[in-house]
Structure 1
């Protein structure tokens, strides 16, 4: 039951932009903001991951802005918030190792060679760049594009870009591993 609830929350979180798009003309922004906070709080409690507590705090700020302004743009900034929190988490892990990607790699290969540790740091930095670009696109679509374009980018294209980055990194990792004689060279970020 607990896994089913966690899975449902994951799906709802991923479908957030499409749900907001469908509700924008029918539900007041303040209620959408309340639903956002509830969703993120449930996700935080169910996962017990500090990342989601940070997102929940940010979602609370967005909800207050939405309530205060009566404007849906604050609710549409949620993908920006997620990218910002991920950037902070990944960036901080570069300053205070092990990096996020190294931690993920060590789940499969606890004893990573030095070359693999360096590789995971580079992949973590690459993800930081992705979060900057994706967050900038999310800001642009929230502030300057139609609701349909915002939902298309944040509800589909951003996920396609993330999947492309994961697939590309996996291909590069396979090449690096073959070149280094089969030593693990990292893991793609699964966030």
Structure 2
């Protein structure tokens, strides 16, 4: 997939909560489902065979949410996508803790192929931190679904969640710089 197409799909999926909010408020359920189905199909067609397991699973989650929403004829099914994404990402990160290399270590080795043992230990700790974060984030996303208030769901899943992810990423980057400066 071209970088431009990847960027467009990332933007579309990032805007999912806002699209769902405005879709539920101003469009028919059928229109929302058709648009989401187009996004899911494009993600599969443009993604290629080399896509990461997390990307494949989140695309599958979107397809499941679309199918359940269509079968139940209830737009509330669409609210479960952020919960499923957090659960999937948690599962991928947690599973990687059982592997010789965690997902964070694999990412770190893209920049630093000869990662020292203390770097490997650090990446394990970061993977555990992401697991905790994803559990927290997914739990709050679940609470917003169960609360039933579309505005609260949209504010958390379309804004606060992204701010928290940014804080987590920025905080880890600052901590990593601090740890590397001491080595």
TM-score by length of structure 1 reads 0.87
CA contact (8 A) 1:30 1:63 kept: no
TM-score relative to the length of structure 2: 0.91
- 1:81 matched to 2:88? The reply is no
Query: What's 1:189 paired with?
Result: none
Mapped partners of 1:31, 1:66: distance in 2: 12
Residue 165 of structure 2 corresponds to residue 162 of structure 1: yes
CA 1:37–1:19 in 2, change beyond 3 Å: closer, same or farther? same
Checking the alignment, whether the CA contact within 8 Å between 1:62 and 1:75 is kept in structure 2 is yes
More displaced stretch, 51-60 vs 4-13 = 51-60
Matches of 2:139 and 2:75, distance apart in 1: 18
* Alpha-carbon distance in 1 for matches of 2:44, 2:100: 24
- CA offsets 1:113-148 (integer angstroms, 9 cap, x no match): 101001001101110111111111111112214111
Aligned-residue offset at 1:83: 0.7
The verdict on how the C-alpha distance between 1:71 and 1:83 changes in structure 2, with shifts beyond 3 A counting, is same
In the alignment, is the contact (CA less than 8 A) between 2:62 and 2:81 conserved in 1?
A: yes
8 Å CA contact 1:40–1:55 kept in 2: the answer is no
Residue 58 (structure 1) shift:
1.9
Q: Which has the higher helix share?
A: 2
Shift of 1:158: 0.4
Q: Report the counterpart of residue 38 of structure 1 in structure 2.
A: 38
Structure 1 residues not aligned, in runs of 5+:
181-191
Aligned positions, number: 180
- Asked whether 1:19 is paired with 2:13, we answer no
Whole-angstrom distance in 2 between the partners of 1:154 and 1:13: 12
Which residue of structure 2 lines up, in the alignment, with residue 7 of structure 1?
A: 7
CA deviations on 1:3-36 (whole Å, 9 max, x unpaired) are: 2222111111101100111110233335423432
Question: Aligned runs of 1:1-191 on 2, under 5 Å?
Answer: 2-48=2-48, 49=51, 50-180=53-183
Measured against aligned partners, the alpha-carbon deviations of 1:152-186 in whole angstroms (never above 9, x if no partner) come to 11111100000000111111111111122xxxxxx
Moved more, 165-174 or 141-150: 141-150
Q: Which structure 2 segments of 5+ residues have no match?
A: none
| Preserved contact between residue 37 and residue 56 of structure 1 (Cα < 8 Å) | no
